[in-house]
Amino acid sequence: MTTTSFDQLASAILDGKPATEDDALAVLRAHDDELLDVVAAAGRLRRHFFGKTVKVNYLVNLKSGLCPENCNYCSQSLGSTADILKYKWLQTDEALEQAAAGLKGGATRVCMVSSGRGPTNKDIDRVTDMVGAIKAEHPQVEVCACLGLLKDGQAERLRDAGVDAYNHNINTAESHHDTIVQTHTYADRVDTVGKVKSAGMSPCSGLIAGLGESDEQLVEALFALRELESDSIPVNFLMPFDGTPYENTWELDPTRCVKILAMARFVCPDREVRIAGGREMHLRSLQGLALHVANSIFLGDYLTSEGQAAEADLELIRDNGFVVLGSEEDTTAAAATTVESRDPAKRRRGAGTTVAPNA
């Protein structure tokens, strides 16, 4: 595809003609020389639907590790020897304290996550208590729950307790699913997304890139998410934890990650495309460029890994000319203030010193 073609594709999408699978493949396979053209075209869609806002989400891991499922990519899974935090359910006051920290940091959505195949009815009781406590103190907050596969009636109970959205990622293409997990099926995952929609909560479902899938399978997953009408699409980049079957699996580089996000934008132009786990590790210095395509990030840490400092996330948003959704802040002024308040670090190494140079 040529520069003009990416731009024409964006124009056609804005005129109501959805991207095809061939269009998506062309974006994914764009030459690195065309990266800025891809970003410029995808950025037109991003700005059309989301302006310069970035939605900031905050994860609270309610229960970590100890999961009986065998998702090969997951540090919390059965058989993983990854050295992660493992703990049982947080108490309501602990969950409230964690959520409050994220909201104070600028998040507008709190994502309450627990490991496990799916919640028991007692687990639903716990989570509804937590949601009630969070909403009582922070009535403006959006709450998303992510508790695994849902049984009949559980989605309605969460909705009635005030849960706004429910996350359940399809993770990968149906044609690739059984190679990444064997203890549940792709159909199980789709069933839970269906229950979420039927209950009237906002479905949040996304994917993980870098799991050995082909380009065609990445496209297949994105079109499945379009079909499922996922309102928000977290795009994770595999973090290959030591002690999991995917340790030492490095299939991604920063430009590939930007193209994957751009493809998500072209296929699902008006959906929240969230840069999720692996943002710092895989996008590295292209995080800012990626924000011109995606419109949502997690603030601070992930479920079992640390992200960059929350202040660096906010700086990333400001420095690229975006604003936190729901914030009235004048980011240009805020960025200038931040820079002015910093005294440059004085060189104390290299020439003129006896300390090794920074090279």
- Catalytic annotation present for 144: yes
* 74 among known catalytic residues: yes
Which residues face 235 on adjacent strands? 207, 275
Of positions 53, 57, 115, 192, contacts ligand SF4 by CB under 6 A: 115
DSSP assignment of 237-274? E----TTSTTTT-----HHHHHHHHHHHHHHSTTSEEE
CB of 65 to ligand SF4, least distance (A): 8
Q: Which is nearer to ligand SF4, 118 or 326 (CB)?
A: 118
**Cα distance between residue 156 and residue 179, in whole Å:** 32
Is 66 or 336 the residue whose CB approaches ligand SF4 more closely? 66
**Nearest to ligand SF4 of 67, 252 (CB atom):** 67
Q: Closer to ligand SF4 at the Cβ: 102 or 277? A: 277
Among 53, 61, 76, 192, binds ligand SF4 (CB under 6 A): 76
**Per-residue DSSP letters for 167-229?**
E---BS-HHHHHHH-SSS-HHHHHHHHHHHHHHTPEEE--EEE-SS--HHHHHHHHHHHHHHT
Q: Which of 38, 41, 54, 67 binds ligand SF4 (CB under 6 A)?
A: 67
Residue 148 sits in the site that holds ligand SF4 (CB under 6 A): yes
Residue 331 CB partners (closer than 8 Å, separation 6+) = 317, 318, 321, 322, 323
Catalytic residue among 204, 265, 271, 318: 204
Instruction: Indicate which residue of 271, 274, 279, 318 is catalytic.
Output: 274
Nearer to ligand SF4, 168 or 265 (CB): 168
Q: Which one, of 105, 103, 73, lies nearest residue 305 by Cα?
A: 73
- Segment near ligand SF4 (CB under 6 A); pick from 72-80, 250-258, 260-268, 281-289: 72-80
Say whether residue 123 binds ligand SF4 (CB under 6 A).
Answer: no
Segment 230 to 259, residues that bind ligand SF4, using CB under 6 A = none
Burial 118-128 (b: 16+ CB within 10 A, else e): bbeeebbebbb
Nearest residue to 268 via CA among 83, 4, 23, 2:
23
| 71 near ligand SF4, judged by CB under 6 A | yes
Q: How far apart are the first and last CA of the chain?
A: 40
Interface residues toward ligand SF4, by CB under 6 A: 67, 69, 71, 74, 76-77, 115, 117, 148
**Active-site amino acid positions:** 67, 71, 74, 111, 144, 204, 274
